[in-house]
Amino acid sequence: MTKIDDVARLAGVSTATVSRALRGLPTVSAATRRRVLAAAEQLQYAVSPSASRLAGGRTGSVAVVVPRITRWFFGVVVEAVEDFLHEAGYDLLLHNLGGRERNRQRLLRTAALHKRVDAIMLVATPLRAAEMSALAALDLPGVTISSGTEVPGWPCVRIDDVAAARTATRHLLELGHRRIAHISGDPDDELAFSAHLDRRRGYQEALRAAGLRPDPALDVESSFDIDGGTRATEELLRRGDPPTAIFASCDEMAMGALTALREAGLRVPQDVSVIGIDDHALSGVLGLSTIAQPAAEQGRLAAKMLLDPLAGRSPEAGMSTTAAPVILPTRLVVRESTAPARAH
């Protein structure tokens, strides 16, 4: 196997000069560079990409931090980010917090990222003051995805969760529903995922705009997944006087609601309408009405915003790296799970 020493010997220069010539640094004369390139070609010497990056002070890796990789939204975002990074010659270093506080502390309060990555992407991972300081000490570029995850000086890509929830609730109101329940994530979640708080706010704003007072008995918290949606809906039904419609903070919770309603002998949408947020891959199969959000596009755009500064490129129009977030649009998708309220 050819080594850099062999190239240096054939070209009649030092190994340091070979390294500088092959990396394209301006400190090597044109004649010397041609001699080194000719020697490398003759010996079929290939530069190790990882070694070249390290020599240039780069790792070629980007850390992506997610609360739970098993959730649909995070999986779609990570896949889109990974595709974009690979096309640009970067590797993705995934940090899945797995819903555990100790994983978060180990990642954000130690040297887990020091000298291992060139940049950091936080996906729906709000930071505490001490964690902000730890990230600032790393002095790395970064980007965030999702509301409540903003870091001073980092660009942010997200949807408007409040507006999405208003649209979902308004759709049910326009169908004539008045007893509209809301099932959402647990505010005591260790990782402080906050999108569900904005979605509750949007739900309540839509009710008040229609002249309705939000009823605490129709608002149930649980985990932000299918099982959580099932448990929350079962709790709603135990309280008596069931709602005629349910707005779930995410499609996975809505799927759990569909399960609980079916097991209780209630028909969707004849007895209870159900709507979520996401446009999960299975939502179309289940006939679930939803507010579609561009999960993959959020990942691709965030990756581009992260890599442009590393490559020395200026942000494109509309992609500012200032504190103002880039908000992508959502849209109402009406399927079979919502219908006009029945007269009682």
Asked if residue 269 has a cis previous peptide bond (ω within 30° of 0), the answer is yes
Is the omega angle on the peptide bond into residue 152 within 30 degrees of 0, that is, cis? no
Lookup result for tokens 């529903």:
177
Q: Please state which architecture CATH assigns to domain 4-47.
A: Orthogonal Bundle (1.10)
Question: Looking at residue 156, what DSSP letter applies?
Answer: E
Biggest distance spanned by C-alpha atoms of the chain: 94
Distance CA 255, CA 226 (A): 6
Q: Where are the domains of the chain?
A: 4-47, 61-159+295-328, 161-293
Please give the pLDDT value at position 23.
Answer: 62
Cβ neighbours for 232, distance < 8 A, ≥ 6 positions apart: 183, 184, 220, 221, 222, 253, 256, 257
Report DSSP letters for 14-35, one per residue.
Answer: -HHHHHHHHTT-TTS-HHHHHH
Fold of 161-293: Rossmann fold (3.40.50)
Kindly report the pTM of this predicted structure.
Answer: 0.79
16 φ, ψ (degrees, to nearest 5): -65, -40
- Other CB atoms within 10 Å distance of the CB of residue 33: 18
**Would the CATH topology of 61-159+295-328 be identical to that of 161-293?**
yes
State the amino acid at position 26 in one-letter form. P
Please give the Cα distance from 272 to 179 (Å, whole number).
Answer: 10
Segment (H or E) for 245? strand 245-248
Q: Specify the pLDDT at position 310.
A: 76
CB atoms within 10 A of CB 93: 17
- Integer Cα distance of 45 and 59 in angstroms: 22
Give me Rg for the CA atoms of the chain: 26
Q: Is the distance from CB of 256 to CB of 232 less than 8 angstroms?
A: yes
The CATH superfamily label for domain 61-159+295-328 reads: Response regulator (3.40.50.2300)
Tens of pLDDT along the chain (344 residues)?
678 888 899 999 988 888 777 766 667 788 888 898 888 888 877 655 555 554 555 678 898 988 888 889 999 999 999 999 988 888 898 888 876 666 666 666 555 666 678 899 999 887 777 777 777 777 888 999 987 777 888 899 999 999 999 999 999 999 999 999 999 987 666 555 678 889 999 999 999 999 999 999 999 999 889 999 999 999 999 998 899 999 999 999 999 999 999 999 999 999 999 999 999 999 999 999 999 999 999 999 999 999 887 766 555 544 444 558 899 999 999 999 999 998 65
